[in-house]
Chain A
Amino acid sequence: MSAIKPLQEGLFHFSADRPEEAVLIGSRCRRCVKFFFPRRQICACCCGKDLEEVILSREGTLKTYTVVHQGPPGWKGPLPYIIGEVRLSEGVVITTHLTGYRPENVRIGEKMRLTVGVLREDGEGNRVMAHMFRPAGADREEVTAGA
């Protein structure tokens, strides 16, 4: 059986059989109380170094989206794919793939929930997993199928 591996270490915590319990790893600046994702060493606002690692909230609101019909040169994943910007309650905006529904059903302003899904397969048959958002109302089976 092929292995699964995260897109990059340090982006999220997850277990393969419970993708809906995944959480994003971010940073919070102790001085200006801004949140960031992915985590960082230096605050983008005050340039200070007093940051702590935090777990970000799993739910947010869809700010905008697009359906990509022509990917970047060398794109190895499926087409089309949906990308969206999801604003979390901490104020941080996450730009990533949307999953679990058809493109024509995407609605700006909708409540979204974090999941982890298969982005693509790498050259050795491993499934590369990425953080994604799905509509908060969608059921779990649909999400798994969509990935």
Chain B
Amino acid sequence: MPEAVIAGVGMHKCGRHPGKSFSVMAAEAAVRALDDAGMNFGDIQAVYASHVMQGASAGQAVCQHLGMTGIPVTNVENACASGSTAVRQAFIDVTYGVYESVLVVGFEKMRQGVIGGIGEENTVSAELGLNVMPALYALKANEHMHRYGTTREQMAMVAVKNHLNGCYNPNAHFQKELTVEEVLASRLICDPLRLLECCPTSDGAAAAIVCSERRARRHNPGPFVYVAGAALVSEIYGDDPDVTSRAAKIAYEMAGLGPAEIDLAEVHDAFSIGEILHYESLGFCAPGEGGRLVETGRTAINGDIPVNPSGGLQSRGHPLGMTGVAQVCEVAWQLRGQAGRRQVKGPQTGLTHTQGFGGVCAVTILKR
């Protein structure tokens, strides 16, 4: 089977871009990825366009800016894991020889306010006011605090670390350092989660070109980043083992790697407690040790398992359909040694992880 490579990546800066349409932002990200791969849109055989709330055929609108070549364009929606789902689909297509060159483009223009109003309307959950993302994570936060003694300060440290990292990422929504005190003084959204522990609502776009290695070499001498594994799961009844543990297990087995061999990770930190929970489910530490992992600096850029060197969802932002693709951009830049002041030292492998409403989770492993 051909090996799938990330032949090129590109982003549109996250932030508030009221005067700019999603299709223009996404097309700019796609052009950067195509340039990075040494390709133009005429070299692309299929497109996966990931977004959650941009409406019908948004991917086709993006592609009309790039060239009207008649190729299949598929829109992908999987909540916060939409981008990762699109990347995985491109990986499958290339690995099984369906296509040799696929563009993945993820984008979103977000409304302000809590990420809510999600899920089916008029269900019992919606009527009870349960479909509020920070509330779902806050339930997990209080349980983790009660069971393991995880502290509010440790959760705040996730936001502090990721905002520091974001200062070095020109594509991040925020380039502003935070202190633990500032995080803990921000207003409560869903106790114990505070405003500065919740990702902002941002506009943004990211693109990646997934190719067979042979096809990529026609346009670009490399070196390339290889897709070593890509897993997608939904929830099992009782969520035990949880979605992240199950997706990680599949991706690790595909890649022939274990958590100790991952050199950096981009992890779903939509809410501070999420990153702590995911450390544990991804196998970076034992259950209950997640709070200490961040507190002791092990997940900082210069730690032994750097997590979210990009600034993560907390600082880069979380335009829903973009996120999984932006994570792949970051890991590709890191593995190619092109991450500038946020560069992790000499990574050979990297992992991306997104998890979303409705019990969806994706884990992708990349290697040099």
Binding site for B on A (CB under 8 A): 7-8, 11, 34, 38, 44-45, 63-75, 77, 81, 83-85, 95-97, 103, 108-109, 119, 128, 130
| Interface pair B117/A64, CB less than 8 Å apart | no
Interface code B232-251, partner A: CB below 8 Å = 1, 0 otherwise? 00000100000000000000
* Chain A residues with CB below 8 A from B117, complex form: 72-74
User: In the complex, what residues of A have CB within 8 A of residue B188's CB?
Assistant: 67, 69
Count of CB-CB pairs between chains A and B under 8 Å: 90
Closest to A38 in B: B124
- Cα distance A97–B130 when bound, in Å? 9
Q: Is the CB of A97 within 8 A of B128?
A: yes
Given contacts A70-B134, A72-B126, A97-B128, 7 further A-B contacts (CB under 8 A): A66-B190, A66-B193, A69-B187, A71-B132, A73-B114, A96-B128, A108-B143
Q: Complex Cα distance A49/B190, Å?
A: 38
In whole Å, how far is A91's beta carbon from the nearest beta carbon of chain B?
A: 8
* B2 close to chain A: CB less than 8 A: no
Known: A63-B143, A71-B116. A83 touches B189 (CB 8 A): no
Q: Does B191 contact A (CB under 8 A)?
A: yes
* B113 contacts the other chain (CB 8 A): yes
Contact of A108 with B129 at beta-carbon distance under 8 Å, contacts A38-B124, A44-B237 already known: no
Contact of B189 among A44, A70, A128 (CB under 8 A): A70
Q: Can you show 9 pairs from A to B with CB atoms below 8 A apart?
A: A64-B140, A69-B191, A70-B132, A72-B131, A73-B114, A83-B129, A83-B130, A83-B139, A108-B143
- B189 and chain A: residue at smallest CB distance: A70
When distances are taken between beta carbons in the complex, the residues of chain A under 8 Å from B116 are: 71-73
Q: Which of A11, A63, A128 has the most CB of B within 10 A?
A: A63
How many residues from B make CB contacts under 8 Å with A? Answer: 31
Contact A8-B139, Cβ < 8 Å, known A69-B188, A72-B116, A72-B132: no
CB closest chain-A residue, reference B131: A72
Question: Which of B124, B139, B192 is in CB contact (< 8 Å) with A85?
Answer: B139
When each residue 134-150 of chain B gets 1 if its CB lies under 8 Å from chain A and 0 otherwise, what string results? 11001111110010000
8 Å CB contact of A8 from B111, B124, B146, B192: B124
Binary CB contact string for chain B from 261 to 281 against chain A (1 if under 8 A, 0 otherwise)? 000000000000000000000
Indicate which residue in B128, B131, B135 contacts A66 across the interface (CB closer than 8 Å).
B135
Alpha-carbon distance between A8 and B128 when the two chains are bound, in angstroms: 11
What CA separation (Å) do A73 and B116 show in the bound complex?
Answer: 6
Residue B120 interfacial (CB < 8 Å): no
A75 touches B138 (CB 8 A): no
In the bound complex, CA of A66 to CA of B135 (Å)? 7
**B124 — which chain A residues lie within 8 A by C-beta?**
7-8, 11, 38
A64 in contact with B146 (CB, 8 Å): yes
**Contact A65–B139 (Cβ < 8 Å):** yes
Task: Provide the residues of chain A in CB contact with B114, threshold 8 Å.
Answer: 70-73
CA of A70 to CA of B112 in the docked complex: distance in angstroms?
Answer: 13
Partner of A73, one of B113, B125, B141: B113
A57 CA to B188 CA in the complex, in Å?
34
CB distance from A14 to the nearest CB of B (A): 15
- Least CB distance from B255 to A in Å reads 30
